[in-house]
A and B are shown apart, each in its own frame.
Chain A
Amino acid sequence: AQTVTQSQPEMSVQEAETVTLSCTYDTSESDYYLFWYKQPPSRQMILVIRQEAYKQQNATENRFSVNFQKAAKSFSLKISDSQLGDAAMYFCAYRTETSGSRLTFGEGTQLTVNP
């Protein structure tokens, strides 16, 4: 079965500091796409960043970047210069070529940002 594991149910960070959220996944396929979604208290799911598995370069979006280690099947999210608005539940997810429309999600990491 294809799975996504987020081993940190909760994390906290001081405002302006850097935090890294972990994610590992298990798939036998070589072509897939990885995502980090953010879910603030409003419950709306917001795309943070995506990574194509065939790209060696790690994706970045402003203060958000990933460390993609394909051999280790690891896809961590780094948030730099943390802001109070970053506080949310963060979900790691992926889709494979054979799964088509199916997104497989991890159980999430609750991030708290302390002022």
Chain B
Amino acid sequence: DGGITQSPKYLFRKEGQNVTLSCEQNLNHDAMYWYRQDPGQGLRLIYYSQIVNDFQKGDIAEGYSVSREKKESFPLTVTSAQKNPTAFYLCASSRRGASTDTQYFGPGTRLTVL
């Protein structure tokens, strides 16, 4: 089946640790995105990538890093520099990065800092 997978579904991290969230898609989409969702709020863009080996910062990139070595994969690392990482993280993809393209979302990862 075509779609976007994220793993793990739930992730717990101790203070000071880096963690990496996985996002994979088999839709042959060029563009991929990471969003953060806090309770009672909409989604905010962290990073996005329109092509392999290239990515751009979104609105809240501080404390996060990404890589895009393969078209299918766009992992997000939450570093110890992120002051308040507890949130729900959503990955999305679109055919290209054009404004006409619809973004499709994965099921999300819930990150909790202990």
Could you list which residues of chain A lie within 8 angstroms of chain B, going by C-beta atoms?
Answer: 4, 9, 31-33, 35, 37, 42-47, 50, 52, 91, 93, 95-97, 99-103, 105-108
List of B residues within 8 angstroms of A35 by Cβ: 102
Which listed residue, B41, B58, B88, touches A102 by the CB 8 Å rule?
B58
The minimal Cβ–Cβ distance linking B56 to chain A, given in whole angstroms, is 8
Interface contact B42-A101, CB-CB below 8 Å: no
Interface contact B94-A101, CB-CB below 8 Å: yes
B99 within 8 A of partner (CB): yes
Chain B's closest residue to A107 (CB) is B42
Asked if A32 meets B99 with Cβ closer than 8 Å, knowing A4-B42, A101-B50, the reply is yes
B85 within 8 A of partner (CB): no
Interface contact A44-B42, CB-CB below 8 Å: no
Chain A's closest residue to B59 (CB) is A102
CA distance A93 to B48 in the complex (A): 17
B108 within 8 A of partner (CB): yes
CA distance A36 to B45 in the complex (A): 17
**Which residues of chain B from 53 to 94 have any CB-CB distance to chain A below 8 Å in the complex?**
56, 58-59, 88, 90, 92, 94
List of A residues within 8 angstroms of B48 by Cβ: 101-102
Interface contact B99-A45, CB-CB below 8 Å: no
B90-114 CB mask vs A (1 if < 8 Å, else 0) is 1010100111101111111010000
List of A residues within 8 angstroms of B40 by Cβ: 9, 107-108
CA distance A55 to B89 in the complex (A): 33
CA distance A102 to B45 in the complex (A): 7
Interface contact B45-A103, CB-CB below 8 Å: yes
The minimal Cβ–Cβ distance linking B97 to chain A, given in whole angstroms, is 4
List of A residues within 8 angstroms of B41 by Cβ: 107-108
